Amino acid sequence: MKDLIPPTADQKPHQHKIHNDIRMDEYFWLKERENPEVIDYLERENDFYAKSTAHTVDFQNDLFEEMKARIKEDDSSVPYFYNGYWYVSRYEKGKEYPIHTRKKGSIDAEEEILFDCNEMAAGHEYFRLVGISISPDNTKAAFAVDTVSRRQYTMKVKDLVSGTYLDTSIENTTGGSVWAKDNETLFYTQKNPVTLRSEAIYRHNINSTSNETTLVYEEKDDTFSVYVMDSKSEDYIFISSYSTLTTEFQYIKADAPLSEFKFIQKRQRGLEYSVSHFEDYFYIFTNADDALNYKIMRTPVTKTERPNWVNYIDHRSDVLLEDLEMFKEYMVLTERENGLSKIRIQTWDGKKDFYLPIDGETYTLYTSTNVDFNTTKLRYSFNSLTTPSSALEYDMATGEEKVLKQQEVLGTFDKSNYTSARLWATAEDGVKIPISMVHHKDTELNADTPILLYAYGSYGSTIDPNFSTTRLSLLDRGFAYAIAHVRGGEYMGR
């Protein structure tokens, strides 16, 4: 151990010239994935790590087997209903990849396998399938695969009637795509081949004799990324451009794929907004008018510019709006107050306005897969530092709630063996910082108790206290685990 010398990478000066500025990068050459020198350096790093940790190999193997033993290998997702079919993804024991399936009309109907990723992964060292998008008539599925682990996905289309694959094969996409209502036009996002920035939206007709595509929109400002999506009502297709401080949306009717995209509101530095659709209005989730914690406005679909926006849900200085979910009869808001997430349900006529009852202070709560616009049933997920993840369904019309599935932890796990709490630490400037902590009930907390403290605060990303099966190996050995919800995230608002 004492004689081990860590490898060092050679420094090879490279100039970056951007914005009339020159920046030197001595390690730019390490991005050359096929360069024998790069491969040699990585192999030396791996060898150094292996030798440095050789004395822990048996313990590593024990931990791996211990953690693996808690995982249910033959598992499946909670079925969800969309456009006449129930969709389920499942795993089979001993197999590494999911099998994506559907059943027509009833959950008890015969299973139709859409994609068996285990078969598709054969011959590849790496495989990932993403972005399954079913055509409105249920006869085709767009999807994308990555066999290199660069997140540069090749988009393809499968005929679900014949089981064959169409000629469509478009490289270097983000993986996602949106169907127009004609069942033959796809919109997708192309990546920059060097920076991997999502930079352009293209249109492709799957019945074309080649992979011919049409550029719809190119995002020329490299501080922005661009994406395409459809409204939950399925009446509109949106192009969204995002930067750190600013967003911009464009739209067309989903039944007019060849029409020209129009702006909801052209970008204004510092103006953030996103768009949902219901009946004759666009609902705008925005920070307009200095709404630091966001508010909801609405505007007629025929008059989308900023002067036409009117308040619908007012801004509150002590409550952060995090998400908006639209249903035919309900609007569902995810809010955060004093660090704790809440789900608020309103009817469009205003006669009902209430919160789902949630107990505790160290939990994670969010709406989950809600693709059916017409349903009265809201699906959401709950877990905590001591409670495995549960998928729940709440009937907004009747108030009936049921657990659809709870994460199964194999072995001897008993949630009553663990204790969690929310603590507060005072920063140097007097601000109270919340800390979520968990430990085994038999672990005595004192100055000698080992603790793993995690903290991340940047880009407004909030780290919620969630359940982890691998963390149990730490807690069972006398450790405490804590998350410091430091500033930079949005745990206490913006």
pLDDT tens track for 12-55? 999 998 888 999 999 999 999 899 999 999 999 999 999 999 99
- When pLDDT is averaged across residues 420-436 and rounded to a whole number, the result is 97
The reported pLDDT for the residue numbered 20 is 87
Q: How confident is the model at residue 422 (pLDDT cuts 50, 70, 90)?
A: very high
Distance CA 102, CA 141 (A): 12
pLDDT of residue 74: 87
- Over residues 170-194, mean pLDDT: 97
**What contacts 452, CB < 8 A, 6 or more positions away?**
474, 479, 480, 481, 482
Mean pLDDT to the nearest integer, 210-216? 90
pLDDT of 264 > 90? The answer is yes
Closest CA to 454 of 445, 446, 465, 443: 465
pLDDT of residue 208: 85
pLDDT at residue 433, rounded to an integer: 97
Closest of 131, 204, 136 to residue 166, by C-alpha: 204
- What mean pLDDT is reported for the chain? 96
Handedness of CA 332, 334, 335, 340 (dihedral sign): positive
Six-digit token pair at 302? 């025929």
Q: Which helix (DSSP H) or strand (DSSP E) does residue 51 occupy?
A: helix 36-52
pLDDT beyond 80 at 2: no
> What average pLDDT does the segment 359-373 reach?
94
* Phi–psi pair at 292, nearest 5 degrees: -55, -40
- With residue 135 as reference, give the H or E element that holds it: none
pLDDT band at 262 (very low <50, low <70, confident <90, very high): very high
Residue 244: other Cβ atoms inside 10 A: 9
Q: Choose among 268, 267, 272: nearest CA to 293.
A: 272
Q: Say whether 435 sits in a helix, a strand or coil.
A: strand
Range of weakest confidence among 54-58, 74-78, 475-479:
74-78
State mean pLDDT over 325-343.
Answer: 97
pLDDT at 210: 75
**pTM of this structure:** 0.89
CA distances 255 to 180, 193, 233, 275, Å, are 6, 31, 12, 18
Q: Locate tokens 């009930």: which residue?
A: 441
pLDDT at 387 over 70: yes
Report whether pLDDT(240) > 90.
yes
**How much is the pLDDT for 1?**
61
Domains, the chain, with CATH or none: 15-52 (no CATH), 80-313 (2.130.10.120), 415-484 (no CATH)
Mean pLDDT of 88-111: 96
Query: Cβ atoms within 10 A of the Cβ of 360, count?
Result: 16
Distance CA 402, CA 125 (A): 41
Span between the terminal Cα atoms of the chain, in Å: 47
